[in-house]
């Protein structure tokens, strides 16, 4: 066996530059009061009422994607809310 220390990453891999989005996330992580939703993972615990609603939806079998147009009930409520403004 080769007595030279093996590199965990190849030289070629070590030369790959970080992506622009990676740099962006690194900058965001240094800023106070910024909530990054870039990868869909907020840095706070989901409020209990939202977790409970998610569990309830799963238990009721609501586990499929909606139409690309969204849920009609939600669209109607949003339209009514905007109309009241």
φ/ψ of 2, rounded to 5, equals -65, 130
Can you give the pLDDT at residue 58? 96
Q: What's residue 24's pLDDT?
A: 83
Residue 6 confidence (pLDDT): 60
The residues, any chain, with a CB within 8 Å of residue 14's CB and separated by 6 or more, are 7
Per-residue model confidence (pLDDT) at position 20: 84
Q: What is the pTM of this model?
A: 0.43
For 11-66, the pLDDT digits (tens) are: 888 888 888 888 888 888 898 888 777 767 777 899 999 999 999 999 999 999 88
Structure tokens at 52: 């409970």
Measured CA distances, 16 to 9, 10, 11, 12, 19 (Å):
11, 10, 9, 7, 9
């Amino acid at each position: 066996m080769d007595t030279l220390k093996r590199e965990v990453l190849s030289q070629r891999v070590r030369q790959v530059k970080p992506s622009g989005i990676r740099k962006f996330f690194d900058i965001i992580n240094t800023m106070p009061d910024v909530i990054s939703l870039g990868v869909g993972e907020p840095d706070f615990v989901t409020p209990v009422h939202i977790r409970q609603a998610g569990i309830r939806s799963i238990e009721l079998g609501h586990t499929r994607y909606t139409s690309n147009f969204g849920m009609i009930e939600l669209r109607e409520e949003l339209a009514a809310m905007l109309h009241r403004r």
